[in-house]
Chains A and B, each alone.
Chain A
């Protein structure tokens, strides 16, 4: 038995598949691909599938990672070919290989966000103000967190979760490139960042496209 890490992208109509549904979808995909899956032992054996970091509904990504365990000596290339042949629309396999680090090491993620406004003026205004706000000391937002098993709302300072930002306006759109805290302990969804900035300055976008570009570990390496 060995672990195989599959790096894939999610885009188009597939972005509307939630993380929970993705799990079920992938377990069917590995069956269709007839991969020699290793099954968990226990009362209800199922193929071992684990994901590095959930992606929010509606976001696309180039850096999705799924770990599976297989038996026998199937090569990485064959795993890639077989899986690529059976995945539904919106999923592309980028690479298949042995895992090099643990998903627990993920600390940050890089995103490309395109925020579209009704007119050029609003876009420019947002870009200017957003740049000021993210470079300031405090940007407060309500964030859902856990207290024991209960879900609670808590106030957090988003500045603590922002590592890097680059904001430019072009026509009605604002391009926001950012590196934000990601992982199990600290995580900031770029949608919350944009909406918090909007609340502070009183504008509202018409469309927003979020794409996750890469996952970064605590020691600054790209997760793969």
Chain B
């Protein structure tokens, strides 16, 4: 199915297995029987994209529909891109080898802001006009969804339809609408007028944005059939929603190469920095029986020997004990490793520790996020130093000797003392190890501290906060490094330049589309890859577009400013976020949703239902 031209270049590039398809459980349909062809694009390399759970889910949602065929597309590596451009080979989909410009739908998943330039590059490689306004036909429609769709204004000019919120039901609806309008012979505008009426879809061209002289937004006006506020879609029942029975098993090694089982959506914690913690609300749990059955099927059809129980905070899952009790029976027998990422330090029980020790031992990672109690209170990370110490005690007694601690620097209200507190906490963990009589003998301890740079995100209580400037971040990074006095602590930090750009896009407006186009023309792509990130080119692009990046990243917004994402409704109310922001500045915490409902408002999109209240 691959053309001879493509085959001819495969052996001249790194990892040709990325480009050929044909993996176990990939879906091939008969073109003649298919009415809607969907190119699901992940704007990064195969190894990263194939690790993504959302793609696996939506791939099975579309391919379950008889008349639709979903295929996968990834960003080609630079060596492949060079060959493609040299030989005029347009971007193809892995399953059929067909050029995606001939598809009905080209869908991008927006997982991180720094992948925006890759979207442009992929459209260009496909031979599809970049701007929505330049694509006048019904096909191909360019759609996008995923977490960054909650403020995708920076790429609004390129995308025809955004899909907000949970994609399982809206993706099926999208495919159905495309089929209907294809059969009707509708024009693109007819289609957009139709889809804009439904919950979960956002047509950016149907909103006019006006700006004040100071660059802030004056007004956003809905037109055509668009609602004043576009609401995100919410899947009501996690037990009934489509989950794949088969995962594609890549033939080459990818980043997360295992069975992933989603156990619940949403998060009860309300950490004020965390976008996922707000945009995926309300809490919806999957029952342990359903999770186990899905794991069983996926293991049988994939042959994987590892299962990851995935959620935003795994130990908050009310069904965790029964699930593990039942599942470990067969996983141990079959030598299958069960991994529990995203554990919290305050409810990591002895029983859980024992269960984890039964299966293969992987690294232990905790995220205190901030170095001092005052700052942890400000960001509502309801974890105390004692919680951390209790947990590492257990971990050391259980035989672990390597601990990873995740922190952020640049958090609102942070001082240099808070930064030094990170190193001090790391030191306390080291000291704790040597204090313990029952520590693992004959081994040293290794504490790895990862300090990423905080980026304020939409739909969080920190959406009004200025991001630290690069100079501030670098000063804090240096202060952290100088506060560490032992080799048993290893520190890693992030490039302040890429955090800055991420900050610009996270809260950017529509005018940034121009900047992204200019930067892409200057060769910017794979911006999330440190070795490919071209900061200077980006700064040139801002200058040519006449926009000041610090306006987006480093400016404090007033509560009454119209924010670029205010016409999107993610359930959580602005008043709730304002209250949370005020509490942060007073270092006052908010108890998690099971202790007391904080009234965030997210359950209104789910008929008033939230499992944090109903499963308590």
Chain B residue nearest to A31 (CB atoms) is: B303
Q: In the bound complex, how far is the Cα of B24 from the Cα of A144, in angstroms? A: 34
Find out whether the CB atom of B251 lies under 8 angstroms from the CB atom of A17.
Answer: yes
Q: In the bound complex, how far is the Cα of B11 from the Cα of A207, in angstroms? A: 10
Which of A64-72, A83-91, A103-111, A122-130 lies on the face that meets chain B?
A83-91
Q: In the bound complex, how far is the Cα of B16 from the Cα of A17, in angstroms? A: 8
Find out whether the CB atom of A44 lies under 8 angstroms from the CB atom of B17.
Answer: no
Q: In the bound complex, how far is the Cα of B579 from the Cα of A14, in angstroms? A: 57
Find out whether the CB atom of A28 lies under 8 angstroms from the CB atom of B249.
Answer: yes
Contacts of B301 in A (CB 8 A): 32
Find out whether the CB atom of B17 lies under 8 angstroms from the CB atom of A32.
Answer: no
Contacts of B300 in A (CB 8 A): 32
Q: In the bound complex, how far is the Cα of B306 from the Cα of A44, in angstroms? A: 13
Chain B residue nearest to A21 (CB atoms) is: B252
Contacts of B252 in A (CB 8 A): 17-18, 21
Find out whether the CB atom of B251 lies under 8 angstroms from the CB atom of A21.
Answer: yes
Find out whether the CB atom of B8 lies under 8 angstroms from the CB atom of A39.
Answer: no
Find out whether the CB atom of B8 lies under 8 angstroms from the CB atom of A16.
Answer: no
Contacts of A32 in B (CB 8 A): 300-303
Chain B residue nearest to A45 (CB atoms) is: B335
Find out whether the CB atom of A13 lies under 8 angstroms from the CB atom of B22.
Answer: yes
Cβ-based interface call for A139 (8 A): no
Residue of B17, B21, B300, B303 ringed by the most chain A CB atoms within 10 A:
B303
Find out whether the CB atom of B20 lies under 8 angstroms from the CB atom of A13.
Answer: yes
Q: In the bound complex, how far is the Cα of B397 from the Cα of A72, in angstroms? A: 40
Contacts of A89 in B (CB 8 A): 22, 24
Find out whether the CB atom of B303 lies under 8 angstroms from the CB atom of A16.
Answer: no
Residue of A28, A29, A58 ringed by the most chain B CB atoms within 10 A:
A28
Find out whether the CB atom of B24 lies under 8 angstroms from the CB atom of A31.
Answer: no
Cβ-based interface call for B360 (8 A): yes
Q: Could you tell me the distance in whole angstroms from the C-beta of B207 to the nearest C-beta in chain A?
A: 44
Contacts of B4 in A (CB 8 A): 207
Q: In the bound complex, how far is the Cα of B20 from the Cα of A89, in angstroms? A: 11
Find out whether the CB atom of A28 lies under 8 angstroms from the CB atom of B253.
Answer: no
Chain B, 237-261, CB within 8 A of any chain A CB: 249, 251-253
Interface of B is mostly: loop
Find out whether the CB atom of B305 lies under 8 angstroms from the CB atom of A31.
Answer: yes
Find out whether the CB atom of A17 lies under 8 angstroms from the CB atom of B10.
Answer: no
Contacts of A57 in B (CB 8 A): 11, 16
Out of B10, B16, B22, B360, name the residue touching A90 (CB < 8 Å). Answer: B22
Q: In the bound complex, how far is the Cα of B249 from the Cα of A31, in angstroms? A: 13
Chain A residue nearest to B17 (CB atoms) is: A16
Cβ-based interface call for B350 (8 A): no
Cβ-based interface call for A199 (8 A): no
Cβ-based interface call for A118 (8 A): no
Q: Could you tell me the distance in whole angstroms from the C-beta of A149 to the nearest C-beta in chain B?
A: 23
Find out whether the CB atom of A16 lies under 8 angstroms from the CB atom of B305.
Answer: no
Binary flags per residue of A116-138, CB closer than 8 Å to B gives 1, else 0: 00000000000000000000000
Cβ-based interface call for B2 (8 A): yes
Find out whether the CB atom of A88 lies under 8 angstroms from the CB atom of B16.
Answer: no
Cβ-based interface call for B23 (8 A): yes
Q: A16-B16, A58-B16, A206-B8 are in contact. Are A28 and B303 (CB under 8 A)?
A: yes
Find out whether the CB atom of A16 lies under 8 angstroms from the CB atom of B360.
Answer: no
Out of B10, B21, B302, B335, name the residue touching A58 (CB < 8 Å). Answer: B10
Cβ-based interface call for B304 (8 A): yes
Q: In the bound complex, how far is the Cα of B20 from the Cα of A90, in angstroms? A: 12
Q: In the bound complex, how far is the Cα of B303 from the Cα of A17, in angstroms? A: 17
Q: Could you tell me the distance in whole angstroms from the C-beta of A168 to the nearest C-beta in chain B?
A: 23
Chain B, 1-55, CB within 8 A of any chain A CB: 2, 4, 7-8, 10-11, 16-17, 19-24
Q: In the bound complex, how far is the Cα of B23 from the Cα of A25, in angstroms? A: 10
Find out whether the CB atom of A88 lies under 8 angstroms from the CB atom of B17.
Answer: no
Q: A17-B17, A18-B17, A21-B252 are in contact. Are A88 and B8 (CB under 8 A)?
A: no
Q: A31-B305, A32-B302, A32-B303 are in contact. Are A14 and B10 (CB under 8 A)?
A: no
Find out whether the CB atom of B251 lies under 8 angstroms from the CB atom of A25.
Answer: yes
Pick the 5 closest A-B CB pairs, nearest first.
A28-B303, A13-B22, A31-B303, A32-B303, A88-B24
Q: Supply 10 A–B pairs (Cβ within 8 Å), ascending by A.
A: A13-B2, A16-B10, A16-B20, A21-B17, A21-B253, A28-B249, A28-B304, A31-B303, A88-B251, A89-B24
For the A-B complex with A28-B303, A57-B16, A88-B249 known, give 16 more contacts whose Cβ atoms are closer than 8 Å. A13-B2, A16-B19, A16-B20, A21-B251, A25-B249, A27-B303, A28-B249, A28-B304, A29-B303, A31-B303, A31-B305, A32-B303, A45-B335, A58-B16, A89-B22, A207-B7
Using a CB–CB cutoff of 8 Å, the interface residues on chain B facing chain A are 2, 4, 7-8, 10-11, 16-17, 19-24, 249, 251-253, 300-305, 335, 360
